[in-house]
Amino acid sequence: MHIQDLFKTVVNGGYCIGCGACASLSDSPIEIRFDEDKKLQPYIKQDDTEDNMTVSALLVCPFSGKSKNEDEIGEELYSKIGNKNDKLGYAAATYAGFVKEASFRENGSSGGMGSWIMAELFREGYIDSVIHIHSNTPDENNPKLFQYTISSTLEDIYAGAKSRYYPIELSAVIKEVKERPGRYAFVGLPCFVKSVRLLMMQDPILKERILFCMGLVCGHLKSAHFASMWAWQVGIFPDNLISIDFRTKLKDYGANQYGITAKGLVEGKAITRVSPPLKELFGADWGWGLFKYKACDYCDDVVAETADVTIGDAWLPQYVKDAEGTNVIIIRDERINNILNKAKSQNRIHLDKLTPDQVISSQSSGFAHRREGLSYRLSLLEKASQWYPPKRVQPSDKAVDNKTKRKLDLRIILSEKSHEYFKEALAKKSFDLLKTKLMPFINEYYQLYKTSYVKKIFTRLKKRFL
Ligand SMILES: Cc1cc2nc3c(=O)[nH]c(=O)nc-3n(C[C@H](O)[C@H](O)[C@H](O)COP(=O)(O)OP(=O)(O)OC[C@H]3O[C@@H](n4cnc5c(N)ncnc54)[C@H](O)[C@@H]3O)c2cc1C
């Protein structure tokens, strides 16, 4: 397969998430770099020759449609479990919980289960290393704030905690795994876990070495300008940002009322600033989709269906009040289930059984956007006779009502315009420019929600009195 086929469809169509699976293949002519919107994207290396242009990149690309989809991969890995759910994939058990021991919960974004499960697999001797995300101090050669890194000690596993709403790619780390024998666990967003599963199908060395995959529930991935937006609002100009914690837990607020902590240079001095709850700043509503990769609007895997265990936030009324954070957990591997239940009996973690429906309802917006919403978006592409990545969801312009169609259109507009206007705002050194230019779309978006809220109350009252 010629590499240009990948560029003609996935990359030029805007469906590339920049995961770097294509660039990790031996002799790949592809490298991953920031584009002008600060999304990681693939480029053909300048000095490459036609000889290297037929790598199997399409087979490992999560969006090409030339490889197995999430249902097929899940079937191959987990069909023995049974319990297949339309939205969660296979699910042997579903829980909500948090870590009680040490400072996993305090240091984590949510209940700390992400780092704890990895630490536990390491301590129990199942793995030697974890492939996950660490901070990077940016410089001219490497401007990224975060990157995939291999942790081979407990201290390094702890240091990888927290959610990184930031572009990351796995080409370098996958090459390192191929060179460094060992037993690894991989942590990633749903499309990245799919990429790793596809790479494992192509490469027996990766198949032998990567023993576990842990997925994060995913709303969508952001460009690096998402970090810049927060830094700017706490007084650190984006060029001067050194590091950011996207999920600073704030005492006396709910789990969903977190802030950010940014470190950067102001007048030549390194300073650290903590924000108030993000809801008090501009851009906290994930529904707007600011700085979103377009690829995320064409993904139908919310909960990493190809991962052995998936963790996310328990956005449910009974947990959200607790600022310390609580995870939802979907289990697809018996060994991980045993680890959790043993730790529960030792009072090291808190674990409540949830039904699959409760897990789904903890991510209701994500599922609505990636089921009915996706169906509508695909119907637009179908009408325009444009290529799109094959999906498990079918295109239909009847999936949602007219008002919801407009909301979904506005999300696309907001996401596209945020990339464009942020560049203008940077050039003119004016954050207000971003706000002013996006505001008309945001106002219309909220107007649509307001009326539907009033309608909801009216319907409830009508039901009660009639
Ligand atoms: C882009 C993004 C979108 C998300 N969307 C949702 C959502 O819509 N709903 C929801 O419930 N949860 C979502 N999450 C997951 C959530 O933010 C928490 O990461 C999750 O609940 C784990 O928290 P924890 O305290 O258990 O993990 P921690 O102990 O903080 O550990 C997190 C682990 O994940 C790794 N990690 C962090 N960021 C990334 C990344 N970008 N790629 C790969 N590995 C990473 C870390 O290195 C660490 O190993 C999202 C996460 C990301 C990064």
Contact indicator for 58, 7 with CB cutoff of 8 Å: no
The CA 277 to ligand 1 mean position distance, Å, reads 19
Q: Does 292 contact ligand 1 (Cβ within 6 A)?
A: no
Cα–Cα distance between 356 and 140 in angstroms, integer? 47
Q: Does 188 contact ligand 1 (Cβ within 6 A)?
A: yes
pLDDT range class, residue 1, cuts 50, 70, 90: low
State the chain's mean pLDDT as an integer: 95
The 10s digit of each residue's pLDDT in 225-275 is 999 999 999 999 999 999 999 999 998 899 999 999 999 999 999 999 999
Half-sphere exposure in the Cβ direction for 288 (13 Å, CA): 21
CA dihedral in degrees (428, 429, 435, 441; nearest 10)?
Answer: 30
The CA 127 to ligand 1 mean position distance, Å, reads 21
What's the DSSP call for residue 276? S
pLDDT range class, residue 464, cuts 50, 70, 90: low
Q: Which of 94, 163, 246 to mutate to test the pocket of ligand 1 (most atoms within 8 A of CB)?
A: 163
The CA 283 to ligand 1 mean position distance, Å, reads 19
Q: Does 109 contact ligand 1 (Cβ within 6 A)?
A: yes
User: What pTM value is reported for the model?
Assistant: 0.96
Give, using CA atoms, the residue closest to atom 37 of ligand 1.
163
Q: Does 150 contact ligand 1 (Cβ within 6 A)?
A: no
Q: Give the containing element (helix H, strand E) for 73.
A: helix 70-78
Q: Does 259 contact ligand 1 (Cβ within 6 A)?
A: no
Q: Which atom of ligand 1 is nearest to the CA of 133?
A: 47
Q: Which atom of ligand 1 is nearest to the CA of 219?
A: 8
The 10s digit of each residue's pLDDT in 21-77 is 999 999 899 999 999 999 999 999 977 666 666 678 999 999 999 999 999 999 999
The CA 215 to ligand 1 mean position distance, Å, reads 8
Cα–Cα distance between 348 and 95 in angstroms, integer? 15
The CA 295 to ligand 1 mean position distance, Å, reads 18
Cα–Cα distance between 380 and 373 in angstroms, integer? 11
Cα–Cα distance between 421 and 321 in angstroms, integer? 35
Q: Got the DSSP string for 352-372?
A: EE--HHHHHHHTHHHHHHHTH
Q: Does 304 contact ligand 1 (Cβ within 6 A)?
A: no
The CA 132 to ligand 1 mean position distance, Å, reads 10
The CA 190 to ligand 1 mean position distance, Å, reads 11
The encoded tokens of residue 180 equal: 């460094």
Percent of the chain with pLDDT over 70: 95
What's the mean pLDDT in 431-435? 98
The CA 216 to ligand 1 mean position distance, Å, reads 5
Contact indicator for 375, 393 with CB cutoff of 8 Å: yes
What pLDDT was estimated at residue 78? Answer: 98
Q: Does 359 contact ligand 1 (Cβ within 6 A)?
A: no
